Amino acid sequence: MAALVKNWLQIVPWETVVSINAKLCEARKALHKPTSDGYAPAKELWEKSRPRKLTLTEVFQIGFQCHRLAPFCNYNGNTFVAIIKTLLDDNLKDLPADKAHVLRSIAGHIVAGTATDIERKQLDAILAAFGK
């Protein structure tokens, strides 16, 4: 798997995050609107992290934190899980398909806030195999 430490979020400006949420809300006729308390801190965290070189674990944590801050009224989880999984898709081409699926799945669970301790350990094992 190609470089695990890189500026993963460079390709995703905040405007893209907003557009993704708008499209997902539109599909379900849900309200797409920024929240008064979560939007500004989530945007700040995202934009501050964008130029940084990050490990995969850090990328997942930023996705989780932004999800938790809830910058939008609806579909925050859907938005950030979709972003993290899409970022992974481009970088998992060298992994065996089953390992790539497991990694994508654990990443989704971490960002969604549903990951178990067993999954976290499994993630550590997968990343260790790739030299973190």
Partner 1 sequence: MTVAENKFLREAVKQGLRMQHRFLAEPVLARTGKGYLKSEGVATLQRIKANLKKSKSA
- Give yes or no for residue 59 binding partner 1 (CB under 8 A): no
Of the candidates 16, 58, 14, the one whose C-alpha atom is nearest the C-alpha of residue 40 is 14
Strand-pairing partners, residue 34, are 72
Residue 40 sits in the site that holds partner 1 (CB under 8 A): no
Q: Is 27 in the site for partner 1 (CB under 8 A)?
A: yes
The reply on whether position 13 binds partner 1 by CB under 8 A is: yes
Q: 46 near 83, Cβ under 8 Å?
A: no
**Joined tokens for residue 14:** 């905040």
Q: Is the CB of residue 14 less than 8 Å from the CB of residue 43?
A: yes
Is residue 34 helix, strand or coil? strand
Q: Is the CB of residue 66 less than 8 Å from the CB of residue 89?
A: no
Site for partner 1 in 78-97 (CB under 8 A): 78-79, 81-83, 85-86, 89, 96-97
Which of 1, 56, 62, 69 forms a contact with partner 1 (CB under 8 A)?
A: 69
Residues at the interface with partner 1 (CB under 8 A) = 11-13, 15-16, 19-20, 23-25, 27-28, 30, 35, 38, 67-70, 72-79, 81-83, 85-86, 89, 96-98, 101-102, 105, 108-109, 112-114
